Amino acid sequence: MQVSFSDRPYLQSAVFAALVLFVVTAVAFIWVAHVYYRKKLSGLPGGNELYLECAYFSEIGKRPSQQDSVFISSLDDYRKYGITALVADGMGGMRYGGEIAQKVADFVEGMCPMSFFATEQNADILRSFSNELYEEYKLQGGSTLALVNISGNYMNYYSVGDSDIILIRDGTPTILNPRQNYMTLLIKSLCRNNKTTQTAYTNAKAKALIDFMGNQDPKVIYTRKPIRIFDGDKIIVSSDGLTDAVSLRHMKHYIKDSASVTATLLKRAVAGRKRPKQDNYTAIVFSVKRGYL
């Protein structure tokens, strides 16, 4: 007995529905597979997680040698461990500044992957390393430390000395870490005495560091709780060679969506200043973006 579609109209509808279902399922499967492999290949987080674009520069300026050091952990490990980035600025005019800055960068590399939540322990480890440097160099050199550790939607930071960690949100740059120089002590003292602070800024020793890597038991500034970061934020970790040349007020003119474009513009801006005593200038630029899933 032969059965034709015309004899069984419901069979025709059933076959059509099955065909549509097959096509929809196949398209959905291909789309999910495509997104999964793209994500796996790129290492980007999905859902509401953020991901980072990163770029950096390190220039010698008008100095005879490069005394800044940089370390950036692998972006391949970002989803698992987050990212760690460091700028260490060897103290100018001291014999072993550049050497100590490189040792600080090497040491931080050895600390990775850095525990995101054990900030107090991480600060203790950095302090102990500074004591080792003190024993080795006996204050014949030192280095700053500006370090960020970003995981998911949060950032911790560590700081010793006067390098800068800058967060740019809604176009407004803010230096996060306080500088550890003599000026802060003067300001504190004047404030306690209910005075204004003009004299602190004219003091010849105001910019002298009171803490640095290589000092004995330096105060390591660190976040007790992480700072939330958002889509669109930019984070710049830099030596003072950048912020001395490009003021915070003018920095916003060079901030673009792309980390590499921002880094290029900042580097050109410093070079364009043509300062005769331009210090080494180094910066790591992060652009925070939302995952595309």
**Identity of the residue, 37 or 201, whose beta carbon is nearer to another protein in the bound complex:** 201
Q: How far is the CB of 194 from another protein (least distance, A)?
A: 6
Nearest to 71 by CA among 87, 59, 91: 87
Tell me how far, at minimum, the Cβ of 173 lies from another protein, in Å: 9
Rounded least distance, CB 156 to another protein, Å? 9
Least distance to another protein, CB of residue 30, Å = 39
Closer CB to another protein, residue 195 or residue 253? 195
Contact characters 203-242, another protein, x per CB under 8 A: ------------------xxxxxxxx--------------
Interaction pattern, residues 94-133, with another protein; x per rule: CB under 8 A: ----------------------------------------
67: Cβ–Cβ under 8 A, 6 or more apart, which residues? 89, 90, 91, 92, 97, 98, 101, 280
Of 115 and 184, CB closest to another protein:
184
**Which CA distances in Å does 289 have to 26, 63, 204, 226?**
31, 36, 43, 18
Cα–Cα distance for residue pair 72/86, rounded to 1 Å: 6
Residue 256 to residue 265: CA distance in whole angstroms: 9
DSSP state of 228: E
How far is residue 24's CA from residue 29's CA, in Å, rounded to a whole number? 9
In the chain, the N- to C-terminal Cα span, in Å, equals 53
Three-state SS sequence of 44-103 = CCCCCCEEEEEEEEEECCCCCCCCEEEEECCHHHHHHHCEEEEEEEECCCCCCHHHHHHH
Site pattern 239..268 for another protein (x: CB under 8 A): ------------------------------
Q: Between residue 15 and residue 44, which ones bind another protein under the rule CB under 8 A?
A: none
Give the one residue of 37, 117, 201, 292 binding another protein; rule: CB under 8 A: 201
List binders of another protein among 171-200 (CB under 8 A).
172, 174, 176-178, 184, 187-188, 190-191, 194-198, 200
In the complex, minimum distance from the CB of residue 123 to another protein, in angstroms, rounded to a whole number: 10
Q: In the bound complex, what is the minimum distance in angstroms from residue 28's beta carbon to another protein?
A: 35
Q: CA gyration radius for the chain? A: 26
Number of residues lying near another protein (CB under 8 A): 29
Q: How far is the CB of 95 from another protein (least distance, A)?
A: 31
State CA 281 to chain mean position distance. 16
Of residues 154, 209, 210, 261, which one binds another protein by CB under 8 A? 154
- Whole-angstrom Cα distance, residue 135 to residue 132? 5
Half-sphere exposure in the Cβ direction for 271 (13 Å, CA): 11
Cβ of residue 218: shortest distance to another protein, in angstroms?
14
Of 40 and 225, CB closest to another protein: 225
Whole-angstrom CA distances from 82 to 60, 92, 102, 113, 162 are 29, 32, 23, 8, 25
Q: Which residues bind another protein (CB under 8 A)?
A: 153-154, 167, 169, 172, 174, 176-178, 184, 187-188, 190-191, 194-198, 200-201, 221-228
